[in-house]
Chains A and B, each alone.
Chain A
Amino acid sequence: MRLSMRLLRRLFSPRPALPGALLPVALLLAGFACSSVSRSPATGSDPVASPMTSPAEVPEATPEAEAEPEPSSSGGLTEDEILAIPPEVGTETDLLDIGAKSLEELNSEGHLKDVHFEYDSAQLSASMRATLGENAAWLARFPSVRILVEGHCDERGTVEYNLALGEERSRAVRDYLRDLGVGSGRMRIISYGKEFPLDPAHNEAAWRRNRRAHLEIIAK
């Protein structure tokens, strides 16, 4: 479903994004997308999904659902046909045209999310890892992008120690992104200590916002 909608948007994009040879495939996919949209209400009111039926059994007990072409996975096409579509790894056909935007625009659009640390800590929590996972996926989509991983601290530590703590934070983020497949050569790290707070206020909320690693796009 998600895939189809993206292709739909791409189809109707004013920019001639798709090579002509791929047009039939795209149209075919678009057709599936439309059929899936129109079928959705019917599936929702399917009598099989009655209160008497155990929810776990629903998918197996619904042959109609089995037969239904699943747009988000194969879309009913053969593998060869799918491979005919350019892989979504940041070629000029990607919906987000990073080539047309300035670095400033890209950074202000927030494609890469900050992660926020605990007080006096450079540990990555599960939620921070999840955020970094999204960042890594975005970076995989645009392999030409290079980033600066900035480590920042809140104002409560000292100037001197915070410089080292910011370094440790940026390094922890860089290392995790590397584990997720982002090439080391695409990342530089820097510590700004407590010199550049996001929020100048002196309270817990501000401190929390300021204890961060920020991923700045420095090349595309």
Chain B
Amino acid sequence: MKSLRLHRLGLALLGAALATGVAAGFVPGTGGGVSLGAAGVLPRTTGGTPVVEVTSLGASRIETASQEAGDWYLDITRPGAPVRIAIPDFQLAPREVPASETGGEGVEAGSAPADPGDASSVAEEAAGAASVASTVLWDDIEYAGVYRMLPKRFYRIAESGSPEGVLDYYQWESIGADILIRGTLRIEGELLVAEVRMHAVRAQENVFGRRYTAARGAARTLAHRIADDILQHAGNYQGVARTRIAFSTSRSGPRSKEIYLMDYDGYGQRPVTANGSLNLTPSWSPDGRALSYISYREGAPALYLAFLYQGRGEKLVGDFQSFTPAWSPDGRWIAFTSNRDGQAEIYLAAVDGSELRRLTDNRAIDVAPTWSPNGRTIAFTSDRTGAPQIYTMDRDGLNLRRVSFEGSYNDSPAWSPSRQHSEIAYASRIERRPFDIVVHDFETRQTRQLTTGRGSNESPSWAPNGLHIAFTSNRAGNDQVFTMHRDGSNLKQLTREGSNTTPRWGTPPGNPQ
């Protein structure tokens, strides 16, 4: 499966390279993709997310003008062969600013050092940050699944063959590296400063060089940012390192469930709600700055919005009962189920609460809406034929079509946000067996099964790049959140405390789809 995926990548890259008319070595592309080359600063966030600032290292030092143009495409002289990447640990760079000059203004005190003036404790902290950043960067790149990770034990061979401080491309080529990522890290005042360079080994070019700064203690965030940059530049691949997953957890107490957030790798699990009631089925705003969810805090389940970076919440729809909200891709609408007209139907409400429209009208249950990436179609679950099945309709409620025909019980559809793959994931039950995650491809009209009978597997949610799926499984006992690749490989368990359900994968803040 992995080689297949890499082969597809190879073909895509071939096409991209042909489009630019060049086909050897690392090729500076001129088209498409999001160029961050000259950009500097991420939108500042105020909700506890450490700020990472990025500056391109000067062309005079590292890059040529042409290399700053945008994306690089990979070598296609060996089509189909895996691209091997070497990522040595971050090296500690000498500090450029004396400790006495530390300012720290405007930086969040994520982990303020005990004594910034103590050189040895700062060095220790820098070493710790370098270790964390090295591990996180490695894991992030590996998670993407597009490169073969060259084991670190080979690196000593390449490094020992090179004179001190000199990069000898032949040494790295000799151990099989196609791409080499080297970085340094130091503490400057209240900041972590990393400089990262990406090298095309056989072309013997430094194709990428950037300086990243982040608050001290934000080494993970720093490494996530670097990983996404590398993936973007090396393969026009939209990484998920800075994405987060919202979910509902029972860990905070009996008879209650709170909405929590975590990084895509399960790190940093933290509460969004803390009202001691039932809080269920979160859904992300497309800009990653807000969640809609259902809360029973006032009795009946009502539709709430949580603005994560303002620490503010509001009730959007309160009358009667509301369930399973889904934020539209344009950010303007919430689709949800309500019984306000007597039975469970799907409605649209504007995010400011100004409009309410009913989309379905029948005696059956209609629930769990999910939007197509272009926002024109909504998929949902209905038991109008007697058992729950997946349907689609236009966003005005017309043009109803049934999607799922196999299985006796299909629910929790999730439409892939991918631009490459037109597909929908859902939980499917054959006969009375537990649920498995399946994906229906609208183009081929084929359905593929991603999980195979280990526990019950439910509530799929796509990563923003459409290449990974988070879901709930009880294969390890009670319900926990897992992620896997869209082909079912690379399974990872993210939660362990309490029971954890209905994961929803969101974009990083200020990075709308």
Residues of chain A whose beta carbon lies under 8 Å from any beta carbon of chain B = 120, 156-161, 163-165, 167-168, 171, 188-193, 195-196
B409 contacts which of A120, A164, A171 (Cβ < 8 Å)?
A120
For A192, the closest partner residue in chain B by CB is: B278
For A202, the closest partner residue in chain B by CB is: B474
- Let me know if B321 and A157 touch, CB within 8 A: no
A178 CA to B367 CA, complexed, in Å? 26
A165 CA to B409 CA, complexed, in Å? 13
A-B contact pairs, 8 of them (CB 8 A): A157-B409, A160-B502, A161-B412, A163-B281, A163-B337, A164-B324, A164-B344, A167-B344
- Let me know if B368 and A160 touch, CB within 8 A: yes
Chain B residues whose CB sits within 8 angstroms of the CB of A165 once the complex forms: 365
- Let me know if B409 and A163 touch, CB within 8 A: no
- Let me know if B339 and A157 touch, CB within 8 A: no
- Let me know if B323 and A164 touch, CB within 8 A: yes
Q: B249 to nearest A CB, angstroms?
A: 12
A163 CA to B323 CA, complexed, in Å? 7
Chain B residues whose CB sits within 8 angstroms of the CB of A167 once the complex forms: 321, 323, 339, 344
For B501, the closest partner residue in chain A by CB is: A159
- Let me know if B459 and A160 touch, CB within 8 A: yes
Chain B residues whose CB sits within 8 angstroms of the CB of A159 once the complex forms: 280-281, 412, 458-459, 472, 501-502
* B427 interface contact, C-beta 8 A: yes
- Let me know if A163 and B381 touch, CB within 8 A: no
For B323, the closest partner residue in chain A by CB is: A163
Chain B residues whose CB sits within 8 angstroms of the CB of A164 once the complex forms: 323-324, 337, 344, 365-367
Chain A residues whose CB sits within 8 angstroms of the CB of B296 once the complex forms: 190
- Let me know if B412 and A160 touch, CB within 8 A: yes
B321 contacts which of A156, A191, A195, A196 (Cβ < 8 Å)?
A191
* B19 interface contact, C-beta 8 A: no
A188 CA to B320 CA, complexed, in Å? 10
* B312 interface contact, C-beta 8 A: no
A161 CA to B387 CA, complexed, in Å? 11
Chain B residues whose CB sits within 8 angstroms of the CB of A171 once the complex forms: 339, 342-343
* B75 interface contact, C-beta 8 A: no
- Let me know if A168 and B387 touch, CB within 8 A: no
For B338, the closest partner residue in chain A by CB is: A167
A158 CA to B281 CA, complexed, in Å? 12
Chain A residues whose CB sits within 8 angstroms of the CB of B342 once the complex forms: 171
- Let me know if A158 and B459 touch, CB within 8 A: yes
A193 CA to B456 CA, complexed, in Å? 17
For B456, the closest partner residue in chain A by CB is: A156
- Let me know if B324 and A163 touch, CB within 8 A: yes
A195 CA to B254 CA, complexed, in Å? 11
Q: A193 to nearest B CB, angstroms?
A: 8
- Let me know if B300 and A158 touch, CB within 8 A: no
**When A168-B343, A191-B321 are in contact, do A161 and B280 touch as well, CB less than 8 Å?**
no
Chain B residues whose CB sits within 8 angstroms of the CB of A157 once the complex forms: 409, 411
Chain B residues whose CB sits within 8 angstroms of the CB of A160 once the complex forms: 281, 323-324, 367-368, 381, 411-412, 459, 502
- The 4 lowest CB-CB distance pairs between A and B, nearest first, are A164-B367, A160-B368, A158-B411, A164-B344
**When A158-B458, A168-B343 are in contact, do A163 and B412 touch as well, CB less than 8 Å?**
no
A167 CA to B412 CA, complexed, in Å? 17
Q: B394 to nearest A CB, angstroms?
A: 21
Chain B residues whose CB sits within 8 angstroms of the CB of A168 once the complex forms: 343-344, 365
Known contacts A159-B458, A192-B278; 15 further A-B pairs (Cβ under 8 A)? A156-B434, A157-B411, A158-B409, A158-B458, A158-B459, A159-B281, A160-B381, A160-B459, A160-B502, A161-B367, A161-B412, A163-B323, A164-B344, A168-B343, A168-B365
CB-CB contacts of B394-415 with A at 8 A, as 1s and 0s?
Answer: 0000000000000001011000
- Let me know if B458 and A190 touch, CB within 8 A: no
A167 CA to B280 CA, complexed, in Å? 15
Q: A127 to nearest B CB, angstroms?
A: 23
A190 CA to B280 CA, complexed, in Å? 14
* B153 interface contact, C-beta 8 A: no
* B242 interface contact, C-beta 8 A: no
For A175, the closest partner residue in chain B by CB is: B342
Which of A156, A160, A188, A191 counts the most chain B CB atoms within 10 A? A160
- Let me know if B365 and A120 touch, CB within 8 A: no
A161 CA to B339 CA, complexed, in Å? 14
A163 CA to B295 CA, complexed, in Å? 12
Per the 8 Å Cβ criterion, residues 321-349 of B in contact with A are 321, 323-324, 337, 339, 342-344
Q: B458 to nearest A CB, angstroms?
A: 5
**When A171-B339, A195-B280 are in contact, do A161 and B301 touch as well, CB less than 8 Å?**
no
- Let me know if B299 and A190 touch, CB within 8 A: yes
Chain A residues whose CB sits within 8 angstroms of the CB of B432 once the complex forms: 156
A168 CA to B342 CA, complexed, in Å? 10
A167 CA to B321 CA, complexed, in Å? 8
Chain A residues whose CB sits within 8 angstroms of the CB of B412 once the complex forms: 158-161
A160 CA to B411 CA, complexed, in Å? 7
Chain A residues whose CB sits within 8 angstroms of the CB of B459 once the complex forms: 158-160
* B419 interface contact, C-beta 8 A: no
For B434, the closest partner residue in chain A by CB is: A156
A191 CA to B501 CA, complexed, in Å? 18
Per the 8 Å Cβ criterion, residues 229-271 of B in contact with A are 255, 257
* B26 interface contact, C-beta 8 A: no
* B37 interface contact, C-beta 8 A: no
A171 CA to B345 CA, complexed, in Å? 14
Q: B471 to nearest A CB, angstroms?
A: 11
Chain A residues whose CB sits within 8 angstroms of the CB of B366 once the complex forms: 164
A161 contacts which of B321, B388, B456 (Cβ < 8 Å)?
B388
* B212 interface contact, C-beta 8 A: no
Chain A residues whose CB sits within 8 angstroms of the CB of B501 once the complex forms: 159
- Let me know if A190 and B502 touch, CB within 8 A: no
Per the 8 Å Cβ criterion, residues 354-373 of B in contact with A are 365-368
A148 CA to B388 CA, complexed, in Å? 27
Chain B residues whose CB sits within 8 angstroms of the CB of A192 once the complex forms: 278
Chain A residues whose CB sits within 8 angstroms of the CB of B90 once the complex forms: none
Chain A residues whose CB sits within 8 angstroms of the CB of B257 once the complex forms: 195
Chain A residues whose CB sits within 8 angstroms of the CB of B169 once the complex forms: none
- Let me know if B278 and A158 touch, CB within 8 A: no
Which of B381, B388, B432, B501 counts the most chain A CB atoms within 10 A? B388
- Let me know if B301 and A158 touch, CB within 8 A: no
For B387, the closest partner residue in chain A by CB is: A120
- Let me know if A196 and B255 touch, CB within 8 A: yes
**When A120-B387, A120-B409, A188-B300 are in contact, do A161 and B368 touch as well, CB less than 8 Å?**
yes
Q: B292 to nearest A CB, angstroms?
A: 14
Q: A109 to nearest B CB, angstroms?
A: 21
Q: A160 to nearest B CB, angstroms?
A: 4
* B482 interface contact, C-beta 8 A: no
